[in-house]
Homo-oligomer: A and B are copies of this chain.
Amino acid sequence: MSSQKPLNVGLVGYGFMGRTHSNAYGKVNQFFDLDRRPVLKAVCGRNESNVKAFAERWGYQSTETDWRNLLSRSDIDLVDIATPNDSHAEIAIAAAKAGKMVMCEKPLGRNPTEATRMVAAIESAGTPNMVWYNYRRVPAVMLGKQIVDEGRLGKIFHYRAKFLQDWTISKDLPQGGAGLWRLDANVSGSGVTGDLLAHCIDTAMWLNGPIQSVTGVTETFVMERHHNLTGKVERVTIDDASAFLARFDNGALATFEATRYARGHKALYTLEINGENASIFWDLHDLHRLHYFDHRDEGRLRGWRSLHVTDGDHPYMKHWWVPGLQIGYEHTFIHQVADFLEGLRTGRPAAPTFRDALATDLVTDAVLRSATSGRWETVGRG
């Protein structure tokens, strides 16, 4: 019935991120005019009844309980990895070798070694690939990118980002297992550094270029927690908080911070860039607003402009409703799928690719090394 060429999707993982991805595949053709249409061929998960229920809810045509089965299915074009971090490398490398396109949740690997192997595999396969750093595709953030690319800021002096949450303050919160694997470093690789800071770093390098060197510090405020899988109180292996100073290649000085101990903040991802001529500021809690200051405005009438990024000439917004009416978190994933499909059409791959995401892993690695060494560490180049 549809006029678009299908793109057959096999999703691995059906947790929180499985929902955001499934929603994106289902909505993208209703709001964007594209020549491809994602078709939800299969979803894979280890618990058969759960995965079947998920498939029914989201309209997947089949289910699998072993992701390896997806690789041999000729009706799967794209393998989408929405599993915990410890399986990203294995699945992605195998999928690449099987000639599949691969989309992978962030961070790419648990460490640069894994991520480097993933980049090698996908580039060797030559198949389209992308990593779900979704915040690039908030309309207000994308408008910030346009402002930067148009050179409106002038020479950049400062970059400032933080991602503050407060959901792990209670000592009674356990670690491990479904929903809580992010607190177990064996699974996640690291704590807020690879989880929240990775988002900040991805956006930062996209907006302001490579980070040269960092000095960082991490902290674990709650040292022991009940572990859901072992059933015992175990040492917490992740970092609860992480902060670092950085220098970018372009000379800008930066501060970064992420924590899950910032009482009162649920998901306060903020970023600010100060340039010679203009500055921008954004805040995930009020995601439709970009704050823009332009020093070239007439002096008496100069001030931070609160841009409500909902107009037809704002990024992505002509696809949605009318000025003043907002979209939300889930739409960033829809935009990402739209851009990925458009990249397939034009042959200009949408970012961030695996290679782009490796660069982020190299920064988080330098931060963690610095937190141990107490010195500035140079960021590796992939």
Chain A residues in contact with chain B, CB under 8 A? Answer: 1-3, 16, 20, 22-23, 26-27, 29-30, 56-58, 143, 146-147, 157-158, 160, 164-167, 169, 215-217, 219, 221, 241, 243-245, 247, 251, 253, 255, 257, 259, 261-268, 274-279, 284-289, 292-295, 297, 299-308, 310-311, 313-314, 320-331, 374-376
Contact = CB atoms under 8 A, between A and B. Distances in A.
Interface of A is mostly: mixed
Nearest to A215: B215
Contact of A264 (B3, B217, B279): B279
Nearest to A277: B263
B247 A245 contact: no
16 contacts: A1-B56, A16-B322, A23-B30, A143-B300, A215-B215, A215-B217, A216-B245, A261-B274, A263-B277, A266-B308, A266-B322, A284-B324, A300-B307, A303-B307, A328-B331, A374-B375
Contacts of A289: 286
A41 B253 CA distance: 48
Contacts of A286: 286, 288-289
How often does this chain occur in the complex, in copies? 4
A259 B308 contact: no
A178 B263 CA distance: 45
Contacts of A2: 56
A239 to B, nearest CB: 11
A326 B325 contact: no
A374 B215 contact: yes
Contact of A304 (B147, B217, B264, B322): B264
